[in-house]
Amino acid sequence: MFKAIGNGALAAVSFVWRWSVPYNSRNRPIDPVYAAVWSTGSDENSILDIVQQCFPDIPRHELPKEEEAIRRLVRERFPPGGNGPLSSSSSTCHEGKDARSSRASSITQVDQEEAIHAEKQRQKMLDSAEETWQHLPTALCSLLASLNAQNIEKKLTSLLTAPFHTSSGRGAIRRASSGVHRTLAMWRHGFKAAVPRTERFFTNLFIIFLVASACYPDVAAGFLGERSYNQRSIGGRIVTLCQLWFLWRYPYHSLWLLFNWSLERLLGAFVGSTVYALAAVVPSIHAAYKTSWFRIMMLVLSMSWQISVQFSPTVRDYLMRLVTRRQMRLLRARSDDEKVIDWVAADKAINAELTTIKTFTAQAEVVAAENVPIRVRTERYIQYTAGYKLGRPADQLVGLFKDDLEGIINTYEDYQSTSPATAPQDDGHVEPRAPKFLLVFFDMAIFAYVCYSFYPQPFTFNTVVAYGTVVCIKQAIIACKRYQTPKSARRLFTNMVSINIIGMFLVSTPVTINRDVLKSDVNFIALTLAMVFATLFLAETIAPLLLACVEGLVSGCSWVKSKVRPKKSSASEEKSKIGSATATASSPEVQSSRGGEKKEASVREAQLK
């Protein structure tokens, strides 16, 4: 009995630990494996070694060395759901007659729904990148992913040579290309080899600054006597320091990665926290910070700082997109008069670069590596990366890499939008957006209540209003991006919102009920410890639970509708049967036939008489 109790306690502790913030913020053993993928196949001999292991029946001198030729060979030899080579029609994602007849007998043995589901899964695999096929050897998948990344860099260089680029569009592609090159260089050669010494020095200095920024606001709150701020923030500071530790231990902690992480945790509140600390030290500021004018000034200043530091890259990108479209329209109008650029060929090239992977794999012809569209290469990378469960720092770096690739595709879509000819519309790979927008709705509801509860406390109210506005906008931006996963949205929700949900119950609600609840040392210590525990061990569960509740409600509503529809359909069928019977009875043909039957009966009766 005691052993069962002990095992149950250990299982409960293990469950709580696996859902804790420190556990989910850690670096995972798969992170260096993922980084090592991008250095696979760096020379011709290593490519041939890997391909020869997978195709030992082909002589080495006949093995393909180019990426697209290897992919074509893989589709012919190792198709999903097949044991042998496919016919030539398999490249268009259709089965041959032999394949259909060979599986006809198995369909009779297996349930038809399972067979249809298996066929859909096979079709889905055929429409995806070859490196995502799970039945292929790991070395071959890594080789294809690495070759795709190498050709992404070559493709970005060749894109800039096109004659139809505008100045703003070329600048956007160059900025995104710089981020792609730097990230891939770090993964291939390591942080020290890819990052200059000066940048590494400033990176370490920035980490020290972030550690100090995580500590001094709580010290200032102790001097000012705002216990609600300390009770609400101490748990979050512990989480911040844990995440900062794992970021520092992550081998590829670039300055850009640290900056973007600090926006979610520390840097946005820097101005408000600094003024707060000065109010604790400088008597004149301490005397003024509770006045109404100082409160309004701090609210405006904090809001301006939050928005400027959080959204300056995003605002710049969207403004440049508008400028790109205007410049492209002017360039088209000017070039039409001067006939400098062949816009028919230019539009064809732009549309070709926006071809999706599903459309590209349906093409029968083999293309050279330099002619593979940038969108196809982007979707190959995204689909391959989706198979890795990376740690949180690595996942955030991958998110920044995806943003760079999406920026290039957005530039070409801006070019395409100015074309007078109609272009094929296909969104391609888009991450699910419904869970991300649900989190935006939860953000707005939560921060509305938190701002209301903290209105009597000037500093906390100013911080929460600015912070809540920024979080809602930031979550909405992630929801609109096509390549940002729901996992990224949940990470942002955990870092910036979950603590406020816990604070809503453990800080806002007690303070709303009784303004003097924290004046008691016992209440303050108890609520602070409860807040720390909830922040460390419950914050990670909030976003999945909220999404699971919504999904459960949606599935429940669909189940109820499915139960109601058969009753309605059966009732309508009965009505239709009754209506058809009455219509048949009232039709002239039926009435004439009945009249004929009556006449025949009367004739027979007369004969019998």
> Which residue, 428, 433, 436, is CA-closest to 405?
428
Q: Is the pLDDT of residue 480 over 50?
A: yes
Return the structure tokens found at 572: 């309508």
Tell me, what's the pLDDT at 598? 47
**Residue 447 to residue 455: CA distance in whole angstroms:** 12
DSSP 377-446: HHHHHHHHHTT----HHHHHHHHHHHHHHHHHHHHHHHHHHT-SS-------S----HHHHHHHHHHHHH
Tell me, what's the pLDDT at 257? 93
Q: What is the average per-residue pLDDT within 333-338?
A: 72
**Residue 49 to residue 185: CA distance in whole angstroms:** 24
> Which residue, 60, 55, 59, 57, is CA-closest to 72?
55
Max avg pLDDT among 81-90, 121-130, 422-431, 460-469: 121-130
Tell me, what's the pLDDT at 256? 92
User: What's the pLDDT band for 411 if we cut at 50, 70, 90?
Assistant: very high
Tell me, what's the pLDDT at 577? 54
Between the alpha carbon of residue 37 and those of residues 140, 381, 384, the distances in Å are: 11, 12, 11
> Which residue, 117, 118, 144, 119, is CA-closest to 133?
144
Helix ranges (DSSP H) in 63-137: 67-77, 97-102, 104-109, 112-126
User: What's the pLDDT band for 314 if we cut at 50, 70, 90?
Assistant: confident
Q: What is the average per-residue pLDDT within 237-264?
A: 91
What are the residues whose beta carbons fall under 8 Å from the beta carbon of 81, sequence distance 6 or more? 118, 122, 125
Lowest mean pLDDT among 5-9, 40-44, 265-269, 551-555: 551-555
Between the alpha carbon of residue 549 and those of residues 330, 498, 553, the distances in Å are: 51, 16, 6
**Residue 143 to residue 51: CA distance in whole angstroms:** 9
pLDDT in tens, 258-288: 999 998 788 877 887 888 788 888 888 888 8
Tell me, what's the pLDDT at 496? 74
pLDDT in tens, 166-222: 999 999 999 999 999 999 999 999 999 999 999 999 999 999 999 998 888 888 888
Lowest mean pLDDT among 232-236, 432-436, 591-595: 591-595
Its sign, for the CA torsion 198, 201, 203, 208, is: negative
User: What's the pLDDT band for 576 if we cut at 50, 70, 90?
Assistant: low
How many of the other CB atoms lie within 10 Å of CB of 491?
Answer: 21
**Residue 134 to residue 143: CA distance in whole angstroms:** 14
Helix (H, G, I), strand (E, B) or coil at 476: helix
User: What's the pLDDT band for 97 if we cut at 50, 70, 90?
Assistant: very low
577 residue type, one letter: K
Q: Is the pLDDT of residue 125 over 70?
A: yes
**Residue 529 to residue 600: CA distance in whole angstroms:** 100
Helix ranges (DSSP H) in 160-291: 167-189, 191-194, 197-224, 227-249, 255-265, 270-281, 283-288
**Residue 579 to residue 585: CA distance in whole angstroms:** 10
DSSP assignment letter at 64 = -
What is the distance of C-alpha 105 from the center of its chain?
42
Q: Which residue has the higher pLDDT, 456 or 70?
A: 70
**Residue 72 to residue 113: CA distance in whole angstroms:** 31
Max avg pLDDT among 3-12, 89-98, 172-181, 431-440: 172-181
What are the residues whose beta carbons fall under 8 Å from the beta carbon of 343, sequence distance 6 or more? 164, 332, 335, 336, 419
Its sign, for the CA torsion 287, 293, 298, 301, is: negative
pLDDT in tens, 13-58: 888 888 888 888 889 999 999 999 998 877 888 999 999 999 999 9
pLDDT in tens, 349-395: 999 999 888 888 887 677 888 889 999 999 999 999 998 999 999 99
Q: Is the pLDDT of residue 91 over 70?
A: no
What are the residues whose beta carbons fall under 8 Å from the beta carbon of 298, sequence distance 6 or more? 272, 275, 289, 458, 459, 462
Return the structure tokens found at 213: 């920024």
**Residue 416 to residue 363: CA distance in whole angstroms:** 22
Tell me, what's the pLDDT at 182? 94
User: What's the pLDDT band for 290 if we cut at 50, 70, 90?
Assistant: confident
Between the alpha carbon of residue 169 and those of residues 155, 176, 181, 262, 332, the distances in Å are: 16, 11, 18, 29, 14
Tell me, what's the pLDDT at 573? 53
User: What's the pLDDT band for 518 if we cut at 50, 70, 90?
Assistant: confident
510 residue type, one letter: P
Between the alpha carbon of residue 455 and those of residues 239, 465, 473, 497, 584, the distances in Å are: 26, 10, 22, 18, 75
Q: Is the pLDDT of residue 84 over 70?
A: no
Return the structure tokens found at 175: 């900025």
Q: Is the pLDDT of residue 427 over 50?
A: yes
User: What's the pLDDT band for 472 if we cut at 50, 70, 90?
Assistant: confident
Tell me, what's the pLDDT at 103? 46
Q: Is the pLDDT of residue 524 over 50?
A: yes
Q: Which residue has the higher pLDDT, 139 or 435?
A: 139
**Residue 574 to residue 581: CA distance in whole angstroms:** 11
Tell me, what's the pLDDT at 499? 74
| Mean pLDDT of the residues in the chain | 81
What are the residues whose beta carbons fall under 8 Å from the beta carbon of 181, sequence distance 6 or more? 153, 156
**Residue 501 to residue 30: CA distance in whole angstroms:** 32
pLDDT in tens, 428-460: 777 888 888 888 888 888 888 778 777 776 666
User: What's the pLDDT band for 100 if we cut at 50, 70, 90?
Assistant: very low
Tell me, what's the pLDDT at 498? 78
Percent of all residues in the chain with a pLDDT value above 70, rounded to a whole number: 84
**Residue 520 to residue 194: CA distance in whole angstroms:** 55
Q: Which residue has the higher pLDDT, 63 or 459?
A: 63
> Which residue, 472, 484, 499, 339, is CA-closest to 405?
484
